[in-house]
């Protein structure tokens, strides 16, 4: 069992703590690494279940943990590259031609004179 645990969870110099707690017929095993490369795990069951399935559950957990860590590392790398690209783009000044004052290419912003108010008309028809 420890040969498999060593291959699954431990690199040279890494530490792993196993804490075993018994409550009635149930045993819980906390597998807690001292590094951030493995997510802690609690496996619970009766002694027979743990004898049969402990290494299987530990193997599945190690595979999932390694997959999550690989995904996280890839995401961090992509985020860092994106941040560097954005910072490099922000440093470059944009070259654009200044627009002449008073002229705008947007027709909604062009000023046009307001129509002159109409003069009152004296030739109203008088109905009364």
Q: Which position has the token pair 């999550």?
A: 68
Q: Whole-structure pTM over 0.75, yes or no? A: no
**Residues in contact with 107: Cβ distance below 8 Å, sequence separation at least 6, in sequence order:** none
Q: Domain ranges in the chain?
A: 2-91
pLDDT tens per residue across all 128 residues of the chain: 778 777 777 777 778 888 999 999 999 999 888 776 667 889 999 999 999 998 888 888 878 877 887 888 889 899 998 888 888 887 766 655 556 665 555 555 555 666 666 655 555 555 44
DSSP code for 107 = G
């Amino acid at each position: 069992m420890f040969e498999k645990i060593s291959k699954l969870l431990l690199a040279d110099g890494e530490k792993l703590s196993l804490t075993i707690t018994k409550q009635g017929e149930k045993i819980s095993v906390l597998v807690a690494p001292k590094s951030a490369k493995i997510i802690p795990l609690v496996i619970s069951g009766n002694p027979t279940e743990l004898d049969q399935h402990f290494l299987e559950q530990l193997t599945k957990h190690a595979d999932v943990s390694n997959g999550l860590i690989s995904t996280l590392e890839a995401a961090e790398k992509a985020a860092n590259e994106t941040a560097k690209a954005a910072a490099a783009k922000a440093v470059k000044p944009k070259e654009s031609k200044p627009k002449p004052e008073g002229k705008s290419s947007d027709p909604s912003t062009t000023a046009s004179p307001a129509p002159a108010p109409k003069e009152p008309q004296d030739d109203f028809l008088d109905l009364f």
